[in-house]
């Protein structure tokens, strides 16, 4: 069943059998990594959520991106750089490498918890996390590649590129299709996921456009998330200060459904011009 259709509430997708759990970093004398099986089974051990996407070897990502060279570079920002790569399957992906200083003091275990949350969000209308790499203290994530770029790129030209020209003027039918896709992505986060997630940074640069003008919500910035919220899903802390948050308000009382629904209007504005 299409994950964004119907009126039934849909919980976060359960991880498929066979995926190892993400665990906190081990002592220096022991192997480390989010996919290492957890030793022991005492009742005092903290529950660790699985990361529902594969870990990619750093050597493979180096090969796919030409050692993260300029030819593969497609964008950069305060968080790091984004590269274009093609997997062995032929699928194009966006490889986002975070700068060492962009993680806001987040430990590897906390970062893995955030990866776990994002990896289990399954919907046709926001960009899917496809993989990650944590080797040699790197923090790298792989997302679906937006073939037409962002809505901002189409309307104004590629962001951050001098002299960039806007794309072809969108027809009203194309505008409506893009707005519809973005709204369905938000609907899934707000009404299907339990606990709900409220997106807090919906703008044209975060609406990614694919072939056929299908739109998906994107740019879930893992580095701006509060460290302990993924493990405390029912707390009043936000999950992401610049991307999205669990629908518990700062004052302690939960947001109501009309608030998320109203927030859907934050993106289509640029499409009206």
pLDDT tens digits for range 32-47:
444 443 444 444 344 5
Compute how many other C-beta atoms are within 10 angstroms of the C-beta atom of residue 208. 29
Q: For 58-272, CATH number?
A: 3.30.200.20
Domain layout of the chain by residue ranges: 58-272
Quick one: tokens of 79? 């968080």
- What's the CA gap between 139 and 17, in Å, rounded? 25
Give the residue, 108 or 247, on which the prediction is more confident. Answer: 108
**Which of 99, 124, 153, 201 is labelled catalytic?**
201
Confidence of residue 123 (pLDDT cuts 50, 70, 90): confident
**pLDDT at residue 17 is higher than 60:** no
pTM of the predicted protein model: 0.64
Whole-angstrom Cα distance, residue 237 to residue 248? 7
* Residues of each annotated binding site for ATP: 96
Binding positions are 96
As a dihedral over the C-alpha atoms of residue 101, residue 128, residue 115, residue 153, rounded to 10 degrees, the angle is: 20
Sheet holding 140-144, edge to edge: 73-76, 80-86, 92-98, 140-144, 129-133
201 classed as catalytic? yes
């Amino acid at each position: 069943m299409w994950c964004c259709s119907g009126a039934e509430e849909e919980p976060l997708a359960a991880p498929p059998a066979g995926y190892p759990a993400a665990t906190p970093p081990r002592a220096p004398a022991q192997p480390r990594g989010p996919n290492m099986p957890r030793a022991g089974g005492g009742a005092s051990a903290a529950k660790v959520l699985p990361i529902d996407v594969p870990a990619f070897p750093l050597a493979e990502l180096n090969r796919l991106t030409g050692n993260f060279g300029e030819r593969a570079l497609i964008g950069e920002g305060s968080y790091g750089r984004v590269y274009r790569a093609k997997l062995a399957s032929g699928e194009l992906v966006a490889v986002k490498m975070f700068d060492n200083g962009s993680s806001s003091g987040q430990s590897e275990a906390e970062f893995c918890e955030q990866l776990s949350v994002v990896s289990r969000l399954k919907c046709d209308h926001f960009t899917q996390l496809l993989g990650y790499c944590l080797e040699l203290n790197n923090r790298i994530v792989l997302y679906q590649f937006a073939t037409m770029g962002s809505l901002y790129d189409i309307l104004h030209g590629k962001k951050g590129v001098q002299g960039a020209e806007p794309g072809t003027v969108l027809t009203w039918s194309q505008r409506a299709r893009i707005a519809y896709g973005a709204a369905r992505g938000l609907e899934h986060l707000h009404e299907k996921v339990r606990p709900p997630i409220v997106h807090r940074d919906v703008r044209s640069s975060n609406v990614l456009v694919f072939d056929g003008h299908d739109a998906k919500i994107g740019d879930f910035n893992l580095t701006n998330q509060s460290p302990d919220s993924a493990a405390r899903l029912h707390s009043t802390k936000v999950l992401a200060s610049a991307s999205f948050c669990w629908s518990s308000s700062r004052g302690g009382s939960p947001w109501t459904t009309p608030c998320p629904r109203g927030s859907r209007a934050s993106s289509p504005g640029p499409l009206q011009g």
